[in-house]
Amino acid sequence: MRFKAIPLIAVLVVSSILLVSCGGTVEGTIRKYFSGCENMDMGIIRSTIHPDSSMYERYSNNEFNDLFVQGGVTGEIEVTVDELNVTEQTDDSAMVTVKTTTSMVGGMGSTITQTIELRKHGNQWLIYDFSA
């Protein structure tokens, strides 16, 4: 019996990791978004935005990417999620308070707390709106 349980446990662990890394959870989506920001990867960032969100068009038209350039962010950027609290969650929407610290080359940086609204799209949690 012991040998049959080990493959099952391995499958469950790998499935959990894939679910989180693909944005299958509220926390997974938030972390994926900030990872995209850290790597300035518009593909990753766009994949976390809900298509019904008013932000979706801006992210699709590279307006967000232009903000990186206008803000002088052309080198390394580090984004740390200091706190992440799901304050409200139903079957199809969630509110999350996130505190992040951003550090950039040259010593510039900031710490902000914001509320992020997520909504389900199919079986994925995607970012619908931000508020500071």
Buried b (16+ CB within 10 A) or exposed e, 73-87: beeebebeeeebeee
Tokens 């510039």 appear where?
108
pTM for the full model? 0.73
Q: What is the pLDDT of residue 39?
A: 86
Provide long-range contacts, Cβ within 8 A and 24+ apart, for 2-5.
Answer: none
CATH value of 2-131 in 3.10.450.50, 3.40.50.300, 2.70.98.60, 3.10.20.30: 3.10.450.50
Tell me the pLDDT tens digit for each residue of 57-86. 877 766 666 666 665 555 678 899 999 999
Q: Kindly state the average pLDDT of the residues 6-30.
A: 52
Q: Domain limits of the chain? A: 2-131
Write 119-123 long-range contacts (CB < 8 A, 24+): 119/50, 119/52, 119/53, 119/92, 119/93, 119/94, 120/91, 120/92, 120/93, 121/50, 121/51, 121/52, 123/24
